[in-house]
A and B are shown apart, each in its own frame.
Chain A
Amino acid sequence: MSAIPNPLTNRPNAGAANFGRTGNHTGEPQYSQFASWVTVPRRVFIYDVPDRAEIQQVTQQVPQIQLRPVAVAQIESPSERTRVQSLESPEAQWLREHSQTLGNYRGEWLLICEGELLAHDQDFAAIRSAVHEHGIQSPFVYYVPSEEESNFLIL
């Protein structure tokens, strides 16, 4: 992994051996707390994004600091995510966008068309009726497993 510059000095970081050090053995400013989230690998950054308010607070405390390394890390991960998600079908996007509310429909069939939930019912016959009613040529129908079924395993 290429060295990430020390955000306080913009000089090459000393690396993992000096990670978290608080001393100023080389005359550098103290930066251990700050560095703990600036210099970690990007995958940590993806899943544990630091609070922006925290970044601003640090910036205000030491306004002479350039936060370039943070910007590099932030740009890299979201662009990757966009590349992947741009391939997603509207159906997959709908599921992702509504993942938090899927639990409301456990044990039900959903009829989704152009990003809209047109019908939901435990009885599939009702979904078929809705498909005909709306004249959908290629319906996207999805069954939300019940809580018990969510642990389903087929070997």
Chain B
Amino acid sequence: MRTVDYQFSFFYLPIAAGGLQPALPVDLIRGPMSTTVIGMLDSGSTFTIFNPQHAQLLGIEDVTDGEASHVTTQLGRVDFYRFDLEMRLKFGTYDRRFPCRIGFFDVRRPRNILGRDFIFQHYEVGFRDRAQEFHLSEEL
């Protein structure tokens, strides 16, 4: 049987009023501009998508300048626009930057989503929901 010895472990964060979620702070970088964003790890989402206000902090005034995309959810269509950026993950002394294609919602949504197209491509992720912990190992 395959076993995984995860590199990093984290407790869920109180990103919603009254609840804990598997979430991670990441830095979004566009040229000389950067911002720190907390995103929720969502293995059910294909895409990594953030609120458009974070794009403004990166000098993107109009997110519709990006590549138009959408997902169809059970609650309806959600539009977002994709840009080529860099994402930085830093835990203690661990520090990695990755080029990535990040989406921004057209309007503000309650959560930023870290989906399978980025985090789950670079890291093996394990959830221990009962203990409200999640674990990461960089994919080599």
- Indicate whether B31 reaches chain A with its CB closer than 8 angstroms: no
Q: In whole angstroms, what is the CA distance A153 to B16 when docked?
A: 12
Interface size range on A against B:
35 or more
**Interface segment out of the listed A14-22, A30-38, A92-100:** A92-100
Segment 111-140 of B: residues with Cβ below 8 Å from A: 111, 113, 131, 133
Closest to B113 in A: A154
Residue B36 contacts which of A88, A140, A152, A155 (CB distance < 8 angstroms)? Answer: A140
Contact, CB under 8 Å: A86 / B109: no
Is the Cβ of B14 less than 8 Å from the Cβ of A131? no
Contact at B111–A140, with CB atoms within 8 Å?
no
Q: Is B54 in contact with A96, judged by CB distance below 8 angstroms?
A: no
B interface, over-half SS = strand
Name A87's contact: one of B10, B15, B53 (CB within 8 Å): B10
Residue with the highest number of chain B CB atoms closer than 10 Å, among A85, A127, A149:
A149
B113 near A140 with CB under 8 A, answer: no
Within the complex, the shortest CB–CB distance from A100 to chain B, in Å, comes to: 9
Instruction: Check if B14 sits within 8 Å of A99, measured CB to CB.
Output: yes
CB distance from B44 to the nearest CB of A (A): 7
Cα–Cα distance between A140 and B9 once the two chains are bound (Å): 22
A89-B90, A138-B27 in contact; A143/B8 too (CB < 8 A)? no
- Asked whether, in the complex, the Cβ of A124 is within 8 Å of the Cβ of B75, the reply is no
Known contacts being A92-B13, A138-B36, A139-B36, is A86 close to B57, with CB within 8 Å?
A: no
For this complex, 26 residue pairs linking A to B, each with C-beta atoms less than 8 Å apart, are A87-B9, A88-B10, A89-B90, A89-B91, A92-B10, A92-B13, A92-B23, A96-B14, A99-B14, A103-B18, A127-B53, A128-B56, A128-B57, A139-B57, A140-B37, A141-B35, A142-B38, A145-B15, A145-B16, A145-B17, A154-B42, A154-B45, A154-B109, A154-B111, A154-B113, A155-B75
Chain A residues whose CB sits within 8 angstroms of the CB of B17 once the complex forms: 102-103, 106, 144-147, 150
CB of B25 within 8 Å of the partner chain: yes
